[in-house]
Chains A and B, each alone.
Chain A
Amino acid sequence: MQFRRRLLLKQPLYKIAQLFMTVRSTLFCALLTSATLISAKADNYKIDPVHSAVLFKVGHFGVGNIYGRFDTFAGDFVFDANDPAKDSVKLEINTDSVDSNAPDRDKHLKSPDFLNAKQFPTATFKSTAVKKVDDKNYEVTGDFTLRGITKPVTVAVQVIGTGPGPKGEPRLGTESTMTLKRSDFDVKAFLPAVNDEVQLRIAVEAIKQ
């Protein structure tokens, strides 16, 4: 008897709780839907040059590899994890910023023998298509322009991770590699003593805009 009375007394509370649960699950569903909608929209990212690098590697006399980097570059990309058709990449490298850890060599690399930095101050990459290989890997094809010559290249892009940066800003990190034949871009000095194939490695941290 006492149990029955207690159950009756508690009935309104139960209904309130039931109502609360219904509202909460509706809200949760709504949030989930909106989150899905947000992620379905492609995000714009701008390369953070402080936490990025453009490196190159070229074989030297068949003996070893010379490594160098470009200190000044800029770029942005559009990334949609669910729809690679919306993805695009733009990168601009300042050829005058080449740094191979040898000032004399850098001067020579900037000369008409190699990059001709005075006449062609930038090298650019613009994507034309992005193909998703798996959750972490993409294959980006695009046009690479160096010394005024544009050639199609394929870049293997690996997504390293996503997450908030020091100020809480959303970031995305990738590492990409591509191999160019420098003779395709009229950079033929010291072939084949200095290899024709040059590997570019582009490690990028980009900030969501």
Chain B
Amino acid sequence: MGSLIGQGIVGIVLPALLALILNGLVLRAALAESRKWPFIGLIIAGCFAFSYSVLLGGIAFPPREATHWLPFIAVGAVFFGTVLQFTNGLGRSVVRLIAALATAWTVLQLQIFGRWPLPISVEWLVAVTLILFATSRLIERAGGLRSTPTEILLGMALAAGFGGIALFFGGSAVLGQICNTFGLFLAGLTVLTFFLPPAQLGPVIPLIYVLVFGSLLLNGSLFSDLPWATAGLLWLAPFGVLIGPPANSPGGNRNLRLLLRGLIVLAIVGLAFVALFLISPPHGNEY
């Protein structure tokens, strides 16, 4: 048991604390907003890769399983997110589409191509690519208009944290741990932005979130026994922060709005858990 606790301290607590401290330093640094977020993205992706490496006993190279791609997807998302930060218009959409296609391909090619009929495999690839593309765009654009960075990060942290619990119940304790670690990084960042509010959230974090969390859910749904309804609802949950009055509307209590939006996200997460318990009764890991 001692070794499991040790693994949890080194693989979860330590990278979460490191991410918190480093992100705090970046947010306090005298840098332009647009330049802060690539650094924050790099910190999150780096800590995620470290955490993954500890929890899974190393990073497999070359990747053989869909799960093995997670740290590479995180680092790739920082690269694409940074490019997005400094591009506009059509170029930005093309970059986002390439990132979504690359992620969908890495996760799906190992499990459906060659096993399922080609037209169905292609349909899946197209559908997942479009979902990843649309999700990252929605979180960034609509989120930027309607919610503060703190609210967006809170929604993502709640979805990732509870997503980890769902994955744990869905059959993979390790996927659950990885997802919870990701949720912890986002929760730390949420707290930081609450006290050190930035003017706007760059595209790096939503892109990392969408690609890594999406990959975790895809892994959970296809390899473990997480029902698709649960995965879909968890994916939708962060959009709960878009409901309600716009962030820039005058008046209103900031804390109360944050609480309400958090509750909306939790309500969607609750539906995801209802689906989990109804469709595929989960098991405990007490055996």
Q: Is the CB of B66 within 8 A of A119?
A: yes
* Residues of chain A within 8 A of B195, CB atoms compared: none
- Pair count A-B, CB < 8 A: 70
Q: Given the complex of chains A and B, what is the CA–CA distance between A108 and B57 in angstroms?
A: 18
- Please tell me which stretch of A29-37, A126-134, A182-190 contacts chain B, meaning at least 4 of its Cβ atoms lie within 8 angstroms of it: A182-190
Q: In this complex, what residue of A is CB-closest to B64?
A: A148
In the complex, how many angstroms separate the beta carbon of B113 from the nearest chain A beta carbon?
12
Q: Which of these, B3, B57, B223, B285, contacts A193 with CB under 8 Å? A: B3
In the complex, how many angstroms separate the beta carbon of B130 from the nearest chain A beta carbon?
24
Interface centre among A61, A148, A189 (most CB of B within 10 A): A189
In the complex, how many angstroms separate the beta carbon of B230 from the nearest chain A beta carbon?
15
Q: Is the CB of A103 within 8 A of B283?
A: yes
Is A83 part of the binding interface, using a Cβ–Cβ cutoff of 8 Å?
no
Q: Is the CB of B284 within 8 A of A104?
A: yes
Q: In this complex, what residue of A is CB-closest to B285?
A: A108
* Residues of chain B within 8 A of A193, CB atoms compared: 1, 3-4
Q: Is the CB of A112 within 8 A of B283?
A: no
Q: Is the CB of B57 within 8 A of A116?
A: no
* Residues of chain B within 8 A of A112, CB atoms compared: 65, 67, 172, 174-175, 219, 223-224
Is A192 part of the binding interface, using a Cβ–Cβ cutoff of 8 Å?
yes
Is A171 part of the binding interface, using a Cβ–Cβ cutoff of 8 Å?
no
* Residues of chain A within 8 A of B66, CB atoms compared: 119
Q: Which of these, B64, B174, B225, B287, contacts A113 with CB under 8 Å? A: B174
Q: A165-209 toward B: CB 8 Å interface, digit per residue (1/0)?
A: 000000000000000000100101111110000000000000000
Q: Is the CB of A116 within 8 A of B174?
A: no
Q: Is the CB of B56 within 8 A of A104?
A: no
A interface, how many residues as a size bin?
Answer: 20 to 34
* Residues of chain A within 8 A of B225, CB atoms compared: 107, 111
Is A136 part of the binding interface, using a Cβ–Cβ cutoff of 8 Å?
no
Q: Which of these, A103, A105, A116, contacts B223 with CB under 8 Å? A: A116
Q: In this complex, what residue of B is CB-closest to A190?
A: B4
Interface set, chain A 143-157, CB cutoff 8 A to B:
147-149
Q: Is the CB of B111 within 8 A of A108?
A: no
Q: Given the complex of chains A and B, what is the CA–CA distance between A183 and B57 in angstroms?
A: 9
Sample (15) of A-B pairs whose CB atoms are under 8 Å apart: A102-B287, A104-B283, A104-B286, A104-B287, A108-B172, A108-B285, A112-B67, A112-B175, A112-B223, A113-B172, A119-B65, A147-B65, A148-B64, A186-B64, A188-B58
Which residue numbers of B lie inside 8 Å of A, CB to CB?
A: 1, 3-4, 56-58, 60, 64-67, 110-111, 171-175, 219, 222-225, 283-287
Closest 6 CB pairs of A and B: A188-B57, A104-B283, A111-B171, A105-B287, A111-B172, A112-B223
